[in-house]
Amino acid sequence: MTRRIAPAAIAALLVAVAPLTAACGSDDPAPSRLTVGDLPQATSSIEYTYAGPAVPPPGHHEYLVRTAGSRATAIVGGYGVAKGDAPADATTTSTDVSSVQWGQLVEGLSALDDLPPAPTGCVGGSTYGVHVLADGRAVLDRSDVACGPTAAEVSAAYHAALAPISDRLGLPAS
């Protein structure tokens, strides 16, 4: 037995769903256009990760920087730090984040716009990432590979984004 859906039922469904989809993509800020208004300091977080090139452990560096509320914490060490598995010899530093610095960190996200992709087949690059939450929901989640001719540009963009707090956290040059 075949069932047919009445045109009136389809129309009612479309009327019900239309308001839910009207805002999709229209007024939502692009990740690069996030403002302090979109990311209130009290209810938002910005997390950066860095994993350097794959080299033997003494020379490999990673860091994880979490900024939430008025605090930023950096974990710096070797393999596993960027994934949240800090080795025993990892160091942790924290610093206060003023509302001015928070605004600079939010504005710094635009430094990550339009970064070039790593060339196909590029080996030995570093990986940078940023994950932003606003009121518990992800509003930005991206990673970029700094490799070959794009390495300096990608690295510089991430360093610029973290500049308001990087010195106070003792982040290594990467």
* Domains of the chain by residue range: 38-169
Kindly report, residue by residue over 50-62, the tens digit of the pLDDT. 999 988 888 889 9
| Residue 29 token pair | 């800020």
Kindly report, residue by residue over 46-97, the tens digit of the pLDDT. 999 999 998 888 888 999 999 999 999 999 998 989 988 888 788 999 999 9
CATH placement of domain 38-169: 3.30.1560
Q: CA–CA separation, 146 vs 148, rounded Å? A: 7
